A and B are shown apart, each in its own frame.
Chain A
Amino acid sequence: MKRKSISVILCVAMVAGLAAGCGSSKDEKKDGKEILSVWIPPLDDETEKNYVPLLDKFEKENNCELDVQIIPWDTYEEKYMTAINAGEGPDVGYMYVEMFPTYIDSGAVVDMEEYLTEEDYEEYLYLDRGKMMGGTYGFPFNTGNPFIMYYNEDILESIGETAPETWEDFERICKKATKDTDGDGKIDQYGYAAGFNNGDMSPLYLLNSYYYSLLWQNGSDIYNDDLKSVRFNDEAGVEAVEYLKSLTPYMPEDYMSLAATDAFSNVFGGGHAAFACARAMQAQSESFQETYPDLHWNYVTSLKNEQYGTFGAADCLTLMSACENKELGMKLIKYMTGTEVMSEYHKEHHGAPMTKDEEYQGDEKLERTLTEDRDKWRPLQAGPCGSDILLNLVSQIQAVMSGDASAQEALDEAAEYSNDLLDEYWADKE
């Protein structure tokens, strides 16, 4: 017994010793080299191996050291907020538009305009999409992946239809496609594979997939131009939601409990639906082709009602205010997005070219979204209280879709909630 007790005590002591020994190691400049910390999310399933080594050359050329951290998507914002709060944040960060407003307001990110030259504007294709709330806070790094309307060629052919162009086309084809194909009395082929359960994705994913496109196609938007109030409950906005609701008979019966990603993958991928909305890269990924080899798909970038429009995220790199050497940070951002790194990276992991000089290496069929259809998609307006407003809007739209509220009621309520928040926000500013 005694021996045992001694060994336990030893163990505890060891733990304490080790713990103490590993403490207190501060960021110090190693032999005069500057250290830049960069936080990015997983870009693919082995980012550490596929992307990070491409930056080695930058370290050598600029005699600095890069500390690249891969931050998991699941708790992305949590990590950023706590770290920046404690002054432990990165020098260069990767952010999506919904994240920006809070960081802009608190001065955690830098307006990069002064570091951008005219050549940069010519070289980097999407710089205009990094402008928000009166400054260039984002440097688009991962974009060109809009939500497009996929269709199943076989199904459309079987009902004698071609690619839809307008809302009327879309609804008509949905209606024709929804039917029982094997004669057991149960519908097994649907018009629109949509699911309004966000599951483990952010609720905003539902807006990305199903809502913004209709809202924009009908000529409305989330905010009014001055960002002082919202407009999604205007006539066009209500009509858009009503249209979405009118499509429910052509969706799988369990559209409310079906996860949006499963709707695309299992229902559309499995060949059970005429249409599905998802990101352009989704169907060209290798695993999608492996999983659903028999699917013949094609797509239209956007339907048209008043106008074209669909959502395409513009995830950006941004220069954090905490970065000591801003020139170097900016140089790194340009390098990370630049032709050299990206054309190498996109060889294996297809993505839209970020620069004029980079060649497109993805699926031929999808190149259209980046060329002739480029103006049919755009990122979200960044606006104050963004997450709050949009999260609330999602739950109201879910209420409409499940039939618990009418479009007008739900949107009015969401607008009231949003405008209250905005009033408070702008009152604070003054």
Chain B
Amino acid sequence: MQASFLRIEVLMNKKKRNCQLSAYGYITPILLIMIVFLGVSVLMSVVLSFTKYNILTPPQFNELDNYTRMLTDKKFVKALMNTLKVMVYIVPLQTVISLLVSVVIASKRNTWLGKLANIVIFIPVLSSNAVVGTVWKAILNGHIEVVEKFFAFFGINCSMLLGDADSALLTVAMVSIWKNVGYYAVLYISALINISDHYYEAAKVDGAGRISRFFYVTLPMLKPTTILVVFLGVTTSLQCFDIIYNLTGGGPAMGTTTLVFYVYDLCFKSGRAGYAMAVSNMLFLLILITVVAQRKMMRKDASEI
């Protein structure tokens, strides 16, 4: 009795171990790439964050100077606030818009209009920063009458949008949504196409209307994609850089300077790479804390991200 029980356990262990080994084999390639290229780099940047370093000369250890400096750095606080604001502006709106647009496109994907929309929605994603910057500056500086009238209808003078620190940040966020919706729509559309009609037919049989089918079939089926989209939205909006660089250059009066923008300036323009690394590590730490806390709170869903 005892012996056979043991044997079963051994067998199970063996099976489990097999399984483990192959799984590690599967994840090795990506882990190797990540460790060699990112892991090492992050470690180096952590070490460098405790030094005075201008990239050109060897770093000099300066203890916690960089971190204490951050506490009194008004620019850091300002950039941090801007970064958080950008994220709040972007993520919810972007997720909702890309979801709705995708649903419409997917449902109409057999009409020529749907096909066309499906193709052109990716144009903003592919447009180079030079194009985005030039086009939007031309539009926002109010020389295209239709757009000017459209904004005027809401009582907004669109030529002022980039000139004021608060509205400039919001404007940059909106342009960023415009540019990235296509990216997330591609994710949604590919997921939507994979939802079997079966589910919809079943729901129809149950007498569900279009809207309740959306809420009870589509939305739950898209949950993994939505998690992906929100997570990517958060990480990319926190790193918002290119659009700012081309539209406002971080101005006016630091109104659109985000942390990554600030770090970049520190690193390559001011020759204070050590401090730049410290600031970026702080950003990393902040996100990590947020995500871990969120994971702890939503224990059940933990496996989904």
Contacts and interface: CB of A to CB of B under 8 A. Distances in A.
A196 interface: yes
B302 interface: no
Contacts of B56: 81, 84-85, 102-103, 106, 108
Contact of A254 (B55, B142, B248, B272): B142
Contact of B253 (A82, A387, A396): A396
A337 to B, nearest CB: 25
A240 B252 CA distance: 20
B254 interface: yes
B274 interface: no
Given A81-B268, A253-B159, A404-B165, A196 B55 contact: no
A68 interface: no
B130 A198 contact: no
Nearest to A206: B251
A399 B165 CA distance: 9
B182 interface: no
Residue of A103, A385, A387, A405 most packed against chain B (CB within 10 A): A387
Contact of A197 (B245, B251, B268, B270): B251
Interface string B209-247: 000000000000000000000000000000000000111
A159 B161 CA distance: 33
Given A199-B137, A254-B160, A257-B161, A398 B270 contact: no
Interface residues of A, number: 43
B253 A404 contact: yes
A200 B248 CA distance: 7
A255 interface: yes
B47 to A, nearest CB: 15
B9 to A, nearest CB: 38
A217 to B, nearest CB: 24
Nearest to B250: A203
A404 B246 CA distance: 23
B121 interface: no
A131 to B, nearest CB: 21
Interface in A348-402: 385, 387-388, 391-392, 394-396, 398-399, 401-402
Interface string B134-172: 000100111100000000000000011111110010000
Interface residues of B, number: 38
B54 interface: yes
B141 A391 contact: no
Contact of A398 (B246, B252, B268): B252
Given A103-B56, A199-B246, A257 B165 contact: no
A255 B253 CA distance: 14
B163 A256 contact: yes
Nearest to A102: B271
Contacts of B168: 257
Contacts of B252: 196-197, 256-257, 395, 398-399, 401-402
Contact of A257 (B129, B140, B246): B140
Given A197-B248, A200-B249, A394-B251, A256 B162 contact: yes
Contacts of B165: 402, 404
Interface string A390-423: 0110111011011011000000000000000000
A201 B140 CA distance: 18
Contacts of B124: none
A201 B163 contact: no
Nearest to B248: A197
Nearest to A392: B75
B203 to A, nearest CB: 35
B133 to A, nearest CB: 5
Nearest to B53: A85
User: 10 nearest interchain CB pairs?
Assistant: A256-B163, A257-B163, A257-B162, A254-B159, A399-B253, A106-B56, A198-B249, A388-B270, A102-B271, A398-B252
11 contacts: A81-B56, A106-B57, A197-B162, A200-B245, A200-B249, A254-B163, A257-B140, A257-B163, A262-B141, A395-B254, A404-B165
Interface of B: 54-57, 75, 129-130, 133, 137, 140-143, 159-165, 168, 245-254, 257, 265, 268-272
Given A196-B251, A200-B130, 11 more contacts: A197-B252, A199-B247, A253-B159, A253-B160, A254-B159, A254-B163, A262-B141, A388-B272, A391-B270, A392-B75, A398-B251
